[in-house]
Amino acid sequence: MATYDQVHERVPLLREDDVTVVDQKEMKKALRATLLGNFMEWFDIGVYAYLGASITKVFFPFGDPWAQLAFFGALAATFIVRPLGGLILGPLGDKIGRRKVLAFTIIMMSVGTFLIGCLPGYNTWGMAAPILLILLKFVQGFSTGGEYAGAATFIAEYSADRRRGFWASFLDLGSYLGFAFAAALATVVELMLTPEQMLAFGWRICFWVALPLGLIGLYMRSHIKESETFEAEQNSEDHEELSMGAYLKHICKDYWPQLLTGAALVMCAQVIGYALTTFMPTYLTETLGYDTLHGNALLIPVLLIVACGLPLFGHLSDKVGRKPIMMTGAVLGLIGAIPSFWLMMKGETWSTFLGLLIMGILLMFQVAIQPSTLPSLFPTKSRYTAMGIMFNIAVALFGSTTGSVVTVLESWWKTDYAGAYYIMFACVIGLIGMFFVKESAGKNLLGSYPAVADESEVHELVETQLDNPKLDTSTMPIPKVRLQEAQQELKDSGHATGTTDGSVASK
């Protein structure tokens, strides 16, 4: 009998009705809904970061350096619970659907942010105020534990294989637009109010904006469909139900190489990202001496440039591949991190902006590509859970702690270049992970049939399947009966060779 590999190499198993033709209208609806969720996630983080001066005075009036460490510690607390959110929401997303979980995460994020704006300060409630702030950051963290992993999974499964890099890059466009909007809103409120008014009520306005945004997002996510890829997996003949513990054990046991590889990529991107978005507002004011308004004014255009540039990098990755772009970015990170900080420390407005822009460009090489690369590491039936575990643990350990780590390193090493050194270290780890990643541009997702943007592509794809290096039917959910028929066909035609077990595995 023919071996498993021989069947897939010699018999055209893929049929025209297997190929998913993406509904462009539904895909764009799904993209808008998921983009808004990422916008919300980073708006929440951005509001906290850009109102750092007010938040510190209201909740952490402990004096330096404890006030700054407490501020970054509360931010890090958000991410401590993110892995728990991924562990619970990920399996739910694989079981009951991506759409339902994503609807839950966006409303939970917005309510948590809104309630922070309602909290009395330290002078009113004493230590209860910062404790409640941290508890609400836990609520935010739990919900965001299912947000990015679910959004990346959802859009990756909705996109055509040849355009996945482009469409998936819009997720982080939403992220950095959210951060830029938070910076702009904080700046406008600070311009309109006196310092006393900011401390009394002004900072709260920015947090309250989250609730109407969340309600809009809930409406949008309640009116989108599940991807055909997910529905096909749910209806497949080998779909099985496992207990939560058994399921998580299966993920960690069977996919630990992909989990480690993905975590290395996430570390590289998120250290740069959090250095720019959460550490820089404090670095610009506390180290470089800019006031809050001017610091925000320098960061906003950089974030807008990053946001607008991401789809260009995503489109390029569809043409030349994901790995070349990520690896180029990591090498440039090793070269450009120190010059970026050197330019900022020159003290001139133009040089500070240029230094921030260099950091933003380094970031684009990574975050534009990851939403299409990371989901390709895992099969459809386990993608949400594996993404939730891998992404959230990596962000909790390396991304969210960037501000605290750099602050400690600055204190130990007595240098303002500590942030540059940490970015370089993250780029080295990222390069190691990129070496082990398989190129996924233009290929079907693991456990999924091919997805195309137009009906006209289907026939050619099926006709050329045995000669197409980007198609791998062994990763597709080919029905067992079809595999058995192909195995018999090879045997009857005399092309089969002997095997030790005479069996063919099925997906």
In this predicted structure, what is the pLDDT of residue 241?
A: 67
In this predicted structure, what is the pLDDT of residue 473?
A: 87
Positive/negative CA dihedral, 152, 154, 155, 161: positive
Angle at CA of residue 36, ends 30 and 39, nearest 5°: 145
Q: What are the residues whose beta carbons fall under 8 Å from the beta carbon of 60, sequence distance 6 or more? A: 66, 67, 70, 71, 74, 122, 130
Identify the CA nearest to 87 among candidates 248, 253, 250: 248
Neighbours of 348 (CB within 10 A): 11
By three-state DSSP, how is residue 392 classified?
A: helix
10-residue mean pLDDT series, the chain (507 residues): 74 90 89 88 84 88 78 79 89 88 91 94 90 91 88 91 94 88 89 90 93 91 85 67 80 93 96 89 81 79 93 96 97 97 91 96 96 94 91 88 86 90 97 95 91 91 90 86 84 59 39
Question: Based on C-alpha coordinates, what's the Rg of the chain?
Answer: 24
Taking the alpha carbons at both ends of the chain, their separation in whole angstroms is 18
User: Where are the domains positioned within the chain?
Assistant: 20-230+244-436
Residues 235 and 400: beta-carbon distance below 8 Å: no
pTM of the model: 0.86
In this predicted structure, what is the pLDDT of residue 396?
A: 86
Q: Max alpha carbon distance in the chain (Å)?
A: 87
**In 437-507, which ranges are continuous DSSP H helix?**
456-463, 480-493
CA distance 240 to 428: 39
Specify the DSSP element, H or E, that contains 452.
Answer: strand 451-452
CA distance 180 to 306: 10
Q: Between β-strands 20-21 and 451-452, what pairing exists: parallel, antiparallel or unpaired? A: parallel
In this predicted structure, what is the pLDDT of residue 492?
A: 78
Residues 47 and 204: beta-carbon distance below 8 Å: no
DSSP 10-55: HS----GGGSEE--HHHHHHHHHHHHHHHHHHHHHHHHHHHTHHHH
In this predicted structure, what is the pLDDT of residue 498?
A: 44
Class level of CATH domain 20-230+244-436: mainly alpha
In this predicted structure, what is the pLDDT of residue 419?
A: 93
CA distance 436 to 418: 28
> Could you give the dihedral angle defined by the CA atoms of residues 308, 445, 318 and 8, in that order, rounded to the nearest 10 degrees?
180
Residues 184 and 300: beta-carbon distance below 8 Å: yes
